[in-house]
Structure 1
Amino acid sequence: MTPLHWAARMQNRDMIKLLLDFGADPNIQDFEGATPLHIAADTVSYDCVETLIIHGANPNIRNEFGTKAIELIKKRGHDKALEKSRF
């Protein structure tokens, strides 16, 4: 788990933004293929989801279970954050 994954798990939007501003990869995958966006969507943190998307997180990356972050985002009702996606 990277610091960015950890910040997403802790729902720490400020830390996510700081890490991204210092060059963290928003699409890095952990040992299960989850991106920080998968984690933020699963923890129901709209602010974190939005921050990751604004910084280029790809909602279409699949984890090892075949789940896309976009599916979790829609399931959790964060559809509005997707309006800021470049994907």
Structure 2
Amino acid sequence: MDGMFDGRTPELHTAVQTNNTDRLLQLIQAGHSVNSEGVDLVRPLHEACFRGHIECVKILLDNDAEVNVRNIDGATPLCDAASSGHVDIVRILLQRGAYVNPPLLLTSPLHEATLRDKWETVEVLSAAGANLNSSDCHFGTPLHVAACQGSLTCAQALLRAGACVNSIKSLNTPLHEAARRQDVPLILLLLAYGADVTMRNNNGLRPI
């Protein structure tokens, strides 16, 4: 498959998938809803943001696409743009009112960007007020994600922005996660930002 949302048949979705801006405008002018639902409640704006089709994003937003709409998994267009590392689209969405901290979401755009090692997107979201210390349902904070994934660049971006180096998930700190991976550069980075080597996890273990 070519991407995350392939196989969607609504015409507006197809125009966005193929980055056919002329066809997209024709369909909108003919009365097709920019908020039409595809499979799994995926909207055209989700498609455009995930694929990085910036002109489609602009057209959809200019024609009243819902910027904070959610798909079946609860992901917003900003989550899709963040996970794909489309920084320019992330900026546009934020300018157009996208929630940098979507409520009632099991993850966040910042978690999505960190999970896929998109450090530039992490910087943009952090500067826009993303909650650096919120926990998702899997890893913990974005810094936990960076430690679990071995993403040094994202960890650096998060720590520069002020992420808590000793945040806890199941009593594991990011240093526990980096130590589990035996990731020396990441361990040294966390120690430089004040990671506590004496903290114990739920098994009573210190990072060492």
Matched, 1:80 2:124: yes
The answer (yes or no) to whether the contact 1:34–1:62 under 8 Å persists in 2 is: no
Q: Percent identity?
A: 29
Matched, 1:4 2:45: yes
The answer (yes or no) to whether the contact 1:27–1:58 under 8 Å persists in 2 is: yes
- 2:88 corresponds in structure 1 to 47
TM-score normalised per structure 2: 0.36
Structure number with larger C-alpha Rg: 2
Matched, 1:36 2:36: no
Structure 2, unaligned stretches of length 5 or more? 1-41, 130-208
Q: Which amino acid aligns with 2:91?
A: E
Q: Count residues in correspondence.
A: 83
Matched, 1:67 2:87: no
Closer, same or farther in 2 for the Cα pair 1:17/1:63, shift >3 Å?
A: farther
TM-score normalised per structure 1: 0.81
- Which of 1 and 2 has higher RCO (CA within 8 Å, sep 6+)? 1
Structure 1, unaligned stretches of length 5 or more? none
Q: CA RMSD in A?
A: 2.0
Closer, same or farther in 2 for the Cα pair 1:72/1:62, shift >3 Å?
A: farther
- Please give the per-residue CA displacement for 1:28-53, whole angstroms capped at 9, x wherever unaligned: 00000000000000011111111111
Structure 1 stretches of at least 4 aligned residues deviating more than 4 Å after TM superposition:
81-85
